[in-house]
Homo-oligomer: A and B are copies of this chain.
Amino acid sequence: MGFQVTTDHLERLAIGAGILGTGGGGNPYIGRMTTTQFLAKGATVNVVDLADVPDDAVVVTVGRMGAPTVAVERIPRGDEQVHALAALEAYTGKKVTHLVSSEIGGANSTIPMVVASQTGLPVIDADGMGRAFPELQMKTFIINGIAPTPGALCDHYGQTSVFDHITDGKTFERYMRAVTIQMGGSAGYCFPLMTGQQVRDYAVPATLSLAIRLGDAILNAREQHTNPVQAALDVTGGQLLFTGKITDVERRLIGGFTRGLVSFEGIGHDTGSNLGITFQNENLIARKDDGTILAVVPDLVCIVDADTAEPITTELLRYGMRAAILGIPAPVQMKTDAAIASVGPAAFGYPDVPFTPLPGVYGASTVSIR
């Protein structure tokens, strides 16, 4: 089917992608504003269904890497990924036909639309995570063995770098990160080159429309004075893990990541109980003070405002906030053995925490896009 992106979609996407960012992923606001400007100037952004991508398509993910705090203070030009794309095409001699998001959670949900606005390329309704994760090798595409290179990076001045012959995702992440740091801590990327078949095999389908529907359901519930948190659960296939008030936030910058622990004192049904959530940019593990683990990465642990369901990112956590903690089952693509090795608790430094999947199905909803 597919659809054409409107400014309303972008507003909803920003909320939905914020929730699916599970605390991290960067703020989608700038990408939303950039795309809105392009749309106002007459650009069109067409979204196509994953199933409709032809076998011989040439697909890339486009996104931004680096510290979200940098990208917020030093506004991207908006054409970094376009230059990265041009460098990749020059190197490979191939013309890209489709764009796909690398992570639907956070800022990278909007970057394909920023690029589509400038190139006219269609955006696939899918992504490589179904959420947000901090490193490049954590995309389903790389997890499933697609070589990360050739892949390109571009800085604020249009200065580019094209990597090639790197088969190991972690090595690619390390090389790209080193250049990104020299580029001022934030850069646009474009990788890996994939066929339509590969994207159909490995992408998490229909996540762009899921994020839009999620934002839409929340806005709708706010307008209708129904429960926005329940609306979010209905759309995502998630469950309410806990409701509480923030009593403490430990937050440190370690190795370029925001790591820490946020503590909640239960309210409502959870009165008398406490919950802690450890995070590394994204929320990783939700554990009650009796030791019971409620949810573990790669399942999505999302902290939202208890009343409005507005997503609360790691940076915004502060004492006294009343929050609902949502547990959304990870997409099946993130629960294979290979995926758990890359993005399970052990990959984040918790080898002793088993991954016990939440029940339910990621995005198990058929609410249509307004």
**A interface with B by C-beta (< 8 Å):** 83, 87, 90-92, 149, 157-166, 171, 174-175, 178-179, 181-183
For A171, the closest partner residue in chain B by CB is B159
B174 touching A178, Cβ below 8 Å = no
Which 3 interchain pairs have the tightest Cβ spacing?
A178-B178, A162-B162, A178-B182
For A163, the closest partner residue in chain B by CB is B161
A174 neighbours in B (Cβ, 8 Å): 182
For A160, the closest partner residue in chain B by CB is B164
A179 neighbours in B (Cβ, 8 Å): 161, 175, 178-179
**22 CB < 8 A contacts A-B:** A87-B91, A90-B91, A90-B92, A90-B164, A91-B91, A91-B162, A157-B165, A158-B165, A159-B171, A160-B163, A160-B165, A161-B161, A161-B162, A161-B175, A161-B179, A162-B162, A175-B183, A178-B178, A178-B179, A178-B181, A178-B182, A179-B179
A95 to chain B, nearest CB (A): 15
A157 neighbours in B (Cβ, 8 Å): 165
A160 to B164, CA, bound (A): 5
A50 to chain B, nearest CB (A): 31
A160 to B91, CA, bound (A): 12
A236 to B77, CA, bound (A): 52
A92 neighbours in B (Cβ, 8 Å): 90
A87 touching B178, Cβ below 8 Å = no
A159 to B174, CA, bound (A): 13
A161 to B171, CA, bound (A): 13
Interface centre among A158, A160, A174 (most CB of B within 10 A): A160
A313 to chain B, nearest CB (A): 29
**Choice from B90, B159, B166 contacting A159 with Cβ under 8 Å:** B166
A87 touching B164, Cβ below 8 Å = yes
A161 to chain B, nearest CB (A): 5
A162 neighbours in B (Cβ, 8 Å): 87, 91, 161-162, 164
Interface centre among A158, A161, A166, A179 (most CB of B within 10 A): A161
For A166, the closest partner residue in chain B by CB is B159
A161 neighbours in B (Cβ, 8 Å): 161-164, 175, 179
A189 to chain B, nearest CB (A): 13
A83 touching B160, Cβ below 8 Å = no
Q: Given A159-B165, A160-B163, list of 17 further CB < 8 A pairs?
A: A87-B91, A90-B91, A90-B164, A149-B159, A159-B164, A159-B171, A161-B161, A161-B162, A161-B163, A161-B175, A162-B162, A162-B164, A174-B182, A175-B183, A178-B179, A178-B182, A179-B179
A188 to chain B, nearest CB (A): 13
A352 to chain B, nearest CB (A): 30
